[in-house]
Structure 1
Amino acid sequence: MSRFSGKVIAITGAASGIGRATAVKLAGHQVALSLCDVSDEGLRETERLCRAAGASVRSARLDVSDHAAVNAWAEDTHDAFGGVNAIINNAGVSLSGAVGDLTLDDFEWIMGINFWGVVHGTRAFLPYLRASGDGHIVNISSLFGIIAMPGASAYNASKFAVRGFTESLSEELRLERAPVRVTCVHPGGIDTNIVAGGRVTPSESLGFETVDQAARDFKRLARTSPEAAAARIVRAMTRGRRRQLIGTDAWLLEKMQRLAPVAYQNLMVSFARRSARR
């Protein structure tokens, strides 16, 4: 029997990409799923796939940057299923552009979803996870929560923040011996539509002028499927890992950053220059 059988797992950003793939992967373990996203259409399809795989499912249209809405969703999940064992804070968006060209609204938008969404989800579900006696928090950061890249300042800031928040949270819960494990996930290039659905501020020096161009450039580097990422996340949960890298690119660049934390930035600048000339 799967260690997940009978568990209640909540997932944000479940309408597509890593969120959908993880929901479907877990559905095969006879879990109960509480799913949310801002996309009704995508959420309905994920719900259909999960039910077909054998899971009990509830779903809600939800903006994770709204803390009151997230709190209400967590309470509804608990009341509907009688408890909650895990929250996977996956919802995220993309923003590309040079620091001087981005607006404060741009920064607030991405931090509201990528960072505050994780904070809201964690805080809303933590009491229920403690009460379960077997809780787990999975926060999706990024390879860009480990390395920085020109044109990704706002995205980097949000994902570095998720990493710092999650690692500190893990230490706190271990210090108090709480029955809640914490995993921070750092995917590399995953073949999703996150860039195509994000925002791009054109920049000649950075080599992109439209969302479509940025999405095409990202697709060339995204070598890992959402399904492969989901398998790694579920395995990390099973094994209680505190950090999970996903993709060969994530493993290689994380090692490079560790060995040359300043010099690696030269490589990022060279890569950006070559990309801009294409």
Structure 2
Amino acid sequence: MHSKNAVITGAGSGIGRELALQLASLGHGLALADIDRQSLNETLIQARLAGAGPLQGYTLDVSDAAQVDDFAEQVLATFTTVDVLINNAGITRFGDFASTSPEAFRTVLDVNFWGVVHGSRAFLPALRASRGSLVNLSSLFGLIGVAGQAHYCASKFAVRGFTESLRQELKADGVHVACVHPGGVRTRIARSACFDQAVDDPQALVERLEKNTLKLSPTEAARVIIEGILQRRERILVGHDAKFIDLLQRLLPNAHTGLINRLLGRAAGQKRSAK
């Protein structure tokens, strides 16, 4: 992968930033995008110090198809070729379906799912030309559905189905298509989330989730993803929790959801109801 060009969305923090830094250390040319320009600038500085090849940053709202198309045109005008596209940008919210407005639900789908679709479409000709890698970030919650995350799970299941379908369509073109399922990773996604449902102490809830479930470092998550890209794996499970849930789903397809929701409820500090 040395000296090839990679595009990463959501590169301002978390897994996206770590992917950028590790690819920079391999001498990659990097086109990095994020909606938060300040965070993106910090990544650009660190990537330059890490040894990146040609390096450009772009302020981008992935939910806007026109912006993504313009972004792709600018990237290709600068880099000429794209060897790796990582559709990483994502958001979440907290709240059950009945408490979530249609607009809020749509916002999650627009970023997490349509952002992946827009990016894949805009860079598809370049990836066909390079026989490169298209890498889409789903989630552990693209494997199972959990209470209070209907919008996020819907978006990540959609990414999974879209990616698996696209993989079949691009096999003859030699394009590697990977779906990534990270488990609990210590990123800012929980702290950046909106609450659609009233809770007593939102900050305390986020802190409990971070302590009990978001344990894997972004550095390790990025290392696993890059290893998967190098090996051109089609399915990349990140973290012991993602591997456990995947196995549990296969072994106990009718019982795993209730068990997992109980475990997540305890991790969030919810009390069990009396029966």
Q: Which residue of 2 aligns with 1:117?
A: 115
Judge conservation of contact 1:201–1:210 (CA < 8 Å) in 2: no
Structure 1 position 5, deviation (Å): 1.4
1:193-232 equivalences under 5 Å are 193-203=188-198, 208-220=199-211, 221-232=213-224
SS of aligned partner of 1:6: coil
Say yes or no: does 1:186 pair with 2:177: no
Number of equivalenced pairs: 268
C-alpha contact 1:140 1:162 (8 A) present in aligned 2: yes
Alignment of 1:139-150 (within 5 A): 139-150=136-147
Q: Residues 209 and 178 of structure 1: is their aligned pair in 2 closer, same or farther, counting only changes over 3 Å?
A: farther
Residue from 73, 81, 85 that aligns with 2:79: 81
CA shift, 1:222, in A, is 1.0
Task: Using the TM superposition, give the Cα deviation of residue 273 of structure 1 relative to its aligned residue in structure 2, in angstroms.
Answer: 5.1
Aligned twin of 2:129: 131
> What's the TM-score once normalised by structure 1's chain length?
0.93
Whether the 8 Å contact between 2:147 and 2:261 is mirrored in structure 1 is: yes
State whether residues 14 and 46 of structure 1, in contact with CA within 8 Å, keep that contact through their aligned partners in structure 2: yes
- Is the CA contact 2:100–2:197 (under 8 Å) kept in the aligned structure 1? no
Q: In the alignment, is the contact (CA less than 8 A) between 1:144 and 1:159 conserved in 2?
A: yes
- Paired with 1:182 and 1:95, the residues of 2 have a C-alpha distance of 28
Which position in structure 1 is the counterpart of 2:270? 276
- Whichever residue aligns with residue 271 of structure 2, its letter is R
1:29 matches 2:29: no
Q: What is the Cα deviation at residue 249 of structure 1?
A: 0.7
How far the C-alpha of 1:19 sits from its partner, in A, is: 0.1
The alpha-carbon deviation at position 124 of structure 1 amounts to 0.3
- What's the CA shift for 1:159? 0.4
1: CA distance, partners of 2:210 / 2:261:
20
TM-score, normalised via structure 2 length? 0.94
CA RMSD of aligned residues (A): 1.3
Alpha-carbon deviation of 1:259?
A: 1.1
Structure 1 residues not aligned, in runs of 5+: none
Match of 2:63 among 62, 65, 82: 65
CA distance in 1 between partners of 2:245 and 2:90 (Å):
21
**Inter-partner Cα distance in structure 2 for 1:87 and 1:104:** 30
Unaligned runs of 5+ in 2: none
